[in-house]
Amino acid sequence: MGMKSKNIQYFTEREEEFADLLMRIGINRNVSKVLVYLAKTPCATSRDIERGTDLRQPEVSIVMTTMMERKWIESRDEKTEYKIGQKAEHKGRPVKIYTFALPICEVVDSIERETMARINEQLKMVTQLRTYITE
């Protein structure tokens, strides 16, 4: 079962705001774009993601590796199918299909934990700063 071709979708104003907020929180720009794209297109190939986010193939590849390491997404291989009469032939390399590995709200929980850890680290440094201040 091959993937059906989709119309290319670009970000709505609300999706742009979503991506912008992720970036302002500290999520990498390209990761933010892919997160927003996958939130509206839960099942996508690298090529779909490139088109939908306006990122280049190497950028998408880096993002997917990062997101898989964080266990946010997973991939599966799907063979490209060609019908020849009644017979289906599989040709070429399989296409990777990416989907969220967990619900998006849990991805946001993960972002919240990372943000809290970063904030707590900075607060510790501020406390340490105080030890250098003499009265």
CATH number of the domain bearing residue 61:
1.10.10.10
For residue 64, what is the enclosing H or E element?
A: helix 57-69
In a domain, 52, yes or no: yes
Range(s) of the domain holding residue 73: 13-102
Q: How many domains does the chain have?
A: 1
pTM of this structure: 0.78
Residues 33-42 as b or e (16 or more Cβ within 10 Å = b): bbbbbbeeee
**pLDDT at residue 3 is higher than 60:** no
| Average pLDDT of the segment spanning 102-124 | 95
| Average pLDDT of the segment spanning 108-114 | 95
In a domain, 125, yes or no: no
| pLDDT bracket for residue 42 (50, 70, 90) | confident
Mean pLDDT for the chain?
88
| Average pLDDT of the segment spanning 66-84 | 86
In a domain, 118, yes or no: no
Q: 130 or 90: which carries more pLDDT confidence?
A: 130
For residue 69, what is the enclosing H or E element?
A: helix 57-69
